[in-house]
A and B are shown apart, each in its own frame.
Chain A
């Protein structure tokens, strides 16, 4: 399957999520409808997984090279975090934000269609490519979810309805995200050594990855200091914007003109 089919796929996935979410309303009093709702929501992700797989085959390389391709992965994986959190911890609201975020990513891809390009430059042809990108991807997914949870908690705080369960959820998502971010950073350094001769060159992309890592490092030390959890929710909600700069803002910064990593645009 190729990008020609993308609009139809995106439409199908979003429709599934919308239908599933709407069905949650009558599902409160009807168990069968509840099951149906889940079938729809998971089908949305299933459709995207299927598309990713066949796109991978058509490209003859992992679809992890362009920003558009990584957005496809986010759209596929972020709702999964929401589903798992509900299944495991009975927190129901996260999945709606996650599906919303995923729909937004599909929307961006629809507005800015990618070019179908099989070529993978030699530096990217490495056993490190998949682990490095996937670890980062999952880290971003976790931190996106923790950002969403952070804002949700901020709003709950305003309405005097704070929930310690949902505050610890945003914390653990951030913690796992940070751990993966650290792996991503180090894998990146080890790979850079193989591909470019040195593990760290303060390339803009590397610098921003370092800054985002520091942002979450700061968070963990604030936690170690027993900072008021209400303030931490703001922190989590805002740190994700640093990650966003790292992720696609970098290409637009003046410093990026001579980055070796601009292929990702």
Chain B
């Protein structure tokens, strides 16, 4: 980096950039080299406690180098904007590759796996660029922090928050556990599966599923064109909702009126629907079809694969009147959490409303989709992420810096 020394001293803007860009490029190529040598093995972030030790040593050396060798041109280049910019572009380009190419399994030996283009965010090029990114950011942060000046607060919050979130997010990844726990109505289970390692893990508590519930949006009916496999829009352009009394019109084809609606019914021997209890039957609707004056009345039904009941649909013109269950609106598991020590906790798991149990966050993840609203099985995701508080602290620092930045920006804008 002999060339960079001179340019930093003279402060000529474009020159520092050339070395920075070259350095970034070499870093990326070096990372690619490691991938080729390990046939795309990627980087394994060290586990506990080595990730913390690494973080402390790494952070400590940045602070030491920043304070001891501040005057060295090479160090000031390492913590300067030209390198920062090149690294931002480098990370953006690597992310671009990772954002365009599918990040999924590929046959071993293909160029995608050898260069780990299918696992960009755990690849050596990405890791190395990020590492230097953290060095660059860290050095500039120390210089802006010591000596302390209130005017630099926004800079510290922004850059410090980013440093913290990025470093702790990446290093904490090795301790992140995301497990799937399948549970069945009336049973308790503490058996969890790790999809990545395919290991079975026993949680320190069991989950007893009392009841699994699904709310659906209102069922709808539609005019289906079997020739073109499309749904014809009614005059109102709304998919008609199934309520007693609803009328839908299709211009030039006819109209359909709902005379009766049974949300839970089963067909009797003659195929006539008989109402049954909640979630035990399928949806039926009696409709009157007016095909430009030709009137008929009949039952249609959504049917159910799970209950092995065939859907009922009726022709109108060259089309069919079909009925569709509404998409799921909400699903939830009413559970009892039973700790190994005997403590009990009643909880309701619902999407967007995780529940905390002994350091594990429990999420409503899914259910038996084939059974749909008849599902008696619920999938719970159990997540543990010990580094989360550090990452969140970083997020909040960035947001605080952001508020200051916004405020300053608006003020300067007023002056302009």
- Given A172-B409, A198-B176, A225-B13, residue A257 in contact with residue B416 (CB < 8 A): no
Q: Is residue B198 contacting chain A, with contact meaning CB distance below 8 A?
A: no
Q: Is residue B108 contacting chain A, with contact meaning CB distance below 8 A?
A: no
Taking CB atoms, residues of chain A closer than 8 Å to B329 are: 119-120, 122
CB within 8 Å of A: which of B28-49?
none
Closest B-chain residue to A213, C-beta based?
Answer: B92
What's the least CB distance linking B87 to chain A, in Å?
10
- Given A175-B409, A176-B409, A204-B99, residue A198 in contact with residue B217 (CB < 8 A): no
Cross-chain contact B416 with A165 (CB below 8 angstroms): yes
Cross-chain contact B327 with A225 (CB below 8 angstroms): no
Q: Is residue B239 contacting chain A, with contact meaning CB distance below 8 A?
A: yes
CA–CA, A197 and B88, complex, Å: 28
Number of interface residues of B (CB under 8 A): 59
Q: Is residue A117 contacting chain B, with contact meaning CB distance below 8 A?
A: yes
Give the interface segment out of A27-35, A93-101, A182-190: A182-190
CA–CA, A199 and B412, complex, Å: 34
Cross-chain contact B395 with A186 (CB below 8 angstroms): yes
Q: Is residue A156 contacting chain B, with contact meaning CB distance below 8 A?
A: no
CA–CA, A120 and B406, complex, Å: 33
Cross-chain contact A197 with B178 (CB below 8 angstroms): yes
What's the least CB distance linking A116 to chain B, in Å?
5
CB within 8 Å of B: which of A211-265?
211, 214-215, 217-218, 221-222, 224-227, 250, 253-255, 257-258
CA–CA, A186 and B412, complex, Å: 25
CB within 8 Å of A: which of B283-335?
326-331
Taking CB atoms, residues of chain A closer than 8 Å to B91 are: 214
Q: Is residue A194 contacting chain B, with contact meaning CB distance below 8 A?
A: yes
CA–CA, A194 and B236, complex, Å: 37
Contact among B81, B327, B363 for A121, CB-based, below 8 A: B327
Cross-chain contact A255 with B406 (CB below 8 angstroms): no
What's the least CB distance linking A246 to chain B, in Å?
9
Q: Is residue A207 contacting chain B, with contact meaning CB distance below 8 A?
A: yes
Q: Is the interface of A mostly helix, strand, loop or mixed?
A: helix
Cross-chain contact A122 with B328 (CB below 8 angstroms): yes
Q: Is residue B413 contacting chain A, with contact meaning CB distance below 8 A?
A: yes
Taking CB atoms, residues of chain B closer than 8 Å to A126 are: 352
Q: Is residue A50 contacting chain B, with contact meaning CB distance below 8 A?
A: no
Closest B-chain residue to A191, C-beta based?
Answer: B352
CB within 8 Å of A: which of B367-416?
381, 383, 385, 388, 391-392, 395, 398-399, 402, 405-406, 409-410, 412-413, 416
Sample of 7 further A-B pairs with CB below 8 A, known A168-B413, A182-B398, A198-B385: A119-B327, A125-B351, A179-B405, A200-B169, A202-B103, A224-B81, A255-B99
Query: Which residues of A come within 8 Å of B, CB atoms?
Result: 2-4, 89, 113, 115-123, 125-126, 165, 168-169, 172, 175-176, 179, 182-183, 186, 189-190, 193-200, 202, 204, 207-208, 210-211, 214-215, 217-218, 221-222, 224-227, 250, 253-255, 257-258
19 contacts between A and B (CB under 8 A): A116-B239, A121-B328, A122-B330, A122-B331, A172-B413, A176-B413, A186-B395, A186-B398, A186-B399, A194-B352, A197-B363, A211-B92, A214-B88, A215-B92, A221-B84, A221-B88, A253-B99, A255-B99, A255-B101
